Structure 1
């Protein structure tokens, strides 16, 4: 049975520390991923949110262009693409669609659809595409998608998403671990 996989991009397909070098360089810091305990990065750089937003708007295209792939993401996604539809749903701004597609091409990543929604609320788009499972790194997104759609959500474990999760949100530490869970889940779906 062909399934529809919803997949976040940043911090999920890309490494969750992709922004760290930019923060360190521009703000004179020496952060690692372990220092990022909150999704709101303005806390780390100790500047007003408005000023951080201006910095982010300037850096956003460069961060996305240089974001490294998460380990095993390409291998697993290429495997799944043969049997399932891959819908990437990201909070990135729509004006970055061309740059995002270029990044996918450069990294030889498969996709059926890339939807840049300019919001962290991905429930509407998950409903629109009738997704069967979702892959995410943002805690509240993962919980909301699971609770509103009753689908499993794979949550990639990071220091910034450590709040508790309901049973249908499954924490994994890697794409290899996600692959193992999904393989078992697919067996049950096809039984």
Structure 2
């Protein structure tokens, strides 16, 4: 019986956060790695004019999403969780990208109970609507807002662009195996605890 409802971001969370990097390097004649992206806003992080970055992203978005690799451990952990939890994917992607998104999930054999493309980074209303018990995210301010407004644990996947301080109920993990370890502990105790490092 599935009881817990998991809200899960897609980009940089289920997909590898490096997905954008080859496309950025090719389009802007750069030679960066993920470590060079210290801010979530790519225009600010790479000192590229916002309009130029937006135009490029709008054109390239479908190709990026169609070819994004899975984040480390995402396939194995989500495959395990599909039998235990409701998996509700809530993304800032826009609705016209639904078919590409759904095809990617099928190609990667990722089970989903629902995919919600809200076209905005404000996931609070969707998280409330679907009554999620825990959220998985890579965007720092999203993680903090969801944790504080909904009083739920939020798993924040560690990246160079989300290093600001976090409140107690936002838990940093380096990969999906660490997320799974924390969820196992949380399901047993229902307490917000720091991830035990081995």
TM-score, length-normalised on structure 1? 0.97
Q: Tell me the residue number matched to 1:57.
A: 58
Mapped to 2, the partners of 1:130 and 1:175 lie a distance apart of: 22
Deviations 1:28-74 (A, max 9, x none): 11110100100111134433201211110000000000100011101
Say how many residue pairs are matched. Answer: 190
Find out whether 1:107 has 2:80 as its counterpart.
no
Q: Tell me the residue number matched to 2:152.
A: 151
Q: Tell me the residue number matched to 1:116.
A: 117
Mapped to 2, the partners of 1:43 and 1:84 lie a distance apart of: 37
Residue pair 1:27, 1:45 contacting (<8 A) in 2 also: no
Q: Tell me the residue number matched to 2:37.
A: 36
Mapped to 2, the partners of 1:78 and 1:85 lie a distance apart of: 12
Runs of at least 4 residues off by over 3 Å? none
Mapped to 2, the partners of 1:21 and 1:120 lie a distance apart of: 23
RMSD: 1.2
Q: Tell me the residue number matched to 2:28.
A: 27
What does 1:72-111 align with in structure 2 at a 5 Å threshold?
72-111=73-112
Residue pair 2:5, 2:133 contacting (<8 A) in 1 also: yes
Residue 2 of structure 1 deviates from its aligned partner by 1.4
Structure 2 residues without counterparts, runs of 5 or longer: 191-198
SS in 1 for 2:164: coil
Residue 91 of structure 1 deviates from its aligned partner by 0.3
Mapped to 2, the partners of 1:47 and 1:149 lie a distance apart of: 35
SS in 2 for 1:184: helix
Structure 1 residues without counterparts, runs of 5 or longer: none
Q: Tell me the residue number matched to 2:162.
A: 161
